[in-house]
Amino acid sequence: MQQIEEPESMQAVALGWRAQGFRIGFVPTMGYLHEGHASLMRLARPLCDKLVVSIYVNPTQFAPGEDFTTYPRSVERDRVICETEGVDVVFLPTNLYAPNHSVRVQELSLSKGLCGRSRPTHFDGVATIVVKLLNLVQPTVAVFGQKDAQQAQVIRKVVADLHMPVDIVLGPIHRDHDGLAMSSRNTYLSAYERSSALILSRSLEKADALFRAGERNAGMIRSLVLSEIDRVPEVRVDYVDIVDPDTLAAQETLGDVALLAIAAYVGRTRLIDNRVLRSE
Ligand code: AMP
């Protein structure tokens, strides 16, 4: 496995591969890798000839006061995971913003609701870094996680609107044995907070059961989730929303498919989780 730190070197290697006709697969991450990230690498591997994983904690997607400086980092362990998953290049840039940078990529619609309400600049940072990384890595296919469902749709829109020649593939949410969605931020949780956090996946499951039993009133499903979470005092809801999985538009009367998305603070840690409600 090759390690590349310089953006120019990454782009030169990628352009060389493309010239030779190789398909490049790409999994962008912020590191502190876990099984969820590994599952995306496994999904990408058979779709490409050369697999690149980037590890970069992107400063522009954190607002002042968020956890940019404390975000967990463990490059040595991350390298082992990448090596095990058959990654060809781990791209570890130290900084992707020139001191005089003055360009941001903004998505003006899908990024406004859900997480965009409490993190109004977050998706500008995400869209900007993803365009930069796609330009450097030149992938034919890039794999993202359904865990960040809104991010995935924002990226799909950016790529479509900017005519970027890359397929965006989504991998399912990888969960711990007890249902907690894997996240690098789970490391912030105390044992007690971690057990409290289980209410998120459990309430999503209950909502799914209600949907499968025929409930199509979004308000009823939302109330169930809110009342479940309300029973756990350490957990404070940021939002519980039911939206169209593609357009992210709020839904009142549900059709056959809907996205139920949650953001909540468990202690001081903000976690997100979601479930696609689907009639069989
Ligand atoms: P992050 O390092 O948290 O920015 O995530 C990098 C990529 O991994 C994103 O596309 C995430 O959606 C994805 N990801 C994070 N957690 C999970 C998970 N539990 N299951 C599947 N994909 C995930």
Ligand 1 atom closest to Cα of 147?
12
The answer to whether the beta carbons of residues 208 and 262 sit under 8 Å apart is no
Amino acid type, 194? R
Taking the whole predicted model, whether its pTM rises above 0.85 is answered as yes
3-state SS class at 16: helix
Task: Establish whether residue 139 lines the binding site of ligand 1, counting it when its CB lies within 6 angstroms of any ligand atom.
Answer: no
Per-residue pLDDT tens listing for the chain (280 residues): 999 999 999 999 999 999 999 999 999 999 999 999 999 999 999 999 999 999 999 999 999 999 999 999 999 999 999 999 999 999 999 999 999 999 999 999 999 999 999 999 999 999 999 999 999 999 999 999 999 999 999 999 999 999 999 999 999 999 999 999 999 999 999 999 999 999 999 999 999 999 999 999 999 999 999 999 999 999 999 999 999 999 999 999 999 999 999 999 999 999 999 999 999 7
Give the Cβ contact number of residue 177 at 10 Å: 5
Q: How far is the CA of 100 from the centre of ligand 1 (A)?
A: 30
Question: Residue 3's pLDDT is what?
Answer: 98
Q: Are 263 and 114 in contact (CB under 8 A)?
A: yes
Instruction: For residue 171, report the distance from its CA to the centre of ligand 1, in Å.
Output: 9
Find the DSSP H helices in the chain. 7-19, 35-44, 75-84, 115-118, 122-137, 149-161, 191-212, 218-230
Q: Evaluate whether 71 touches 184 at the Cβ level (below 8 Å).
A: yes
| 201 close to ligand 1 (CB < 6 Angstrom) | no
With a 6 Å cutoff on the Cβ, whether 155 touches ligand 1 is no
Residue whose entry in the numeric block shows the structure tokens 């996240």: 183
Look up residue 13 and give its two tokens.
């290697």
147 lines ligand 1 (CB under 6 A): yes
Question: What is the spatial distance between Cα 77 and Cα 19, in angstroms, rounded to a whole number?
Answer: 32
Q: Is the CB of 184 under 6 A from ligand 1?
A: yes
259, amino acid identity: L
Return the SS3 of 22: coil
Output the residue whose Cα is nearest ligand 1's atom 13: 145
pLDDT score recorded for residue 280: 76
pLDDT at 38: 98
User: 31 CB contacts (<8 Å, ≥6 apart)?
Assistant: 55, 56, 57, 72, 73, 74, 75, 78, 184
Cα(240)–Cα(264) distance, rounded to whole angstroms? 9
Is 37 a known active-site residue?
yes
Strands 257-266, 269-278: pairing is: antiparallel
Atom of ligand 1 nearest to the CA of 183: 16
Active-site pick, 37, 163, 174, 177:
37
For atom 17 of ligand 1, which residue has the closest CA? 36
Q: Which residue has the tokens 């940072």?
A: 125
Whole-angstrom CA distances from 141 to 8, 127, 137 are 20, 17, 10
Please name the residue whose Cα sits nearest to atom 11 of ligand 1. Answer: 145
Question: What are the tokens at 197?
Answer: 């956090």
DSSP H helical segments within 33-148, as ranges? 35-44, 75-84, 115-118, 122-137
> What's residue 175's pLDDT?
98
- Closest ligand 1 atom, CA of 30? 2
d(CA 79, CA 1): 9
Give yes or no for residue 270 CB within 6 A of ligand 1: no
Residue 141, SS3?
A: strand
Ligand 1 centroid distance, CA of 168 (Å): 14
**pLDDT of the residue at 7:** 98
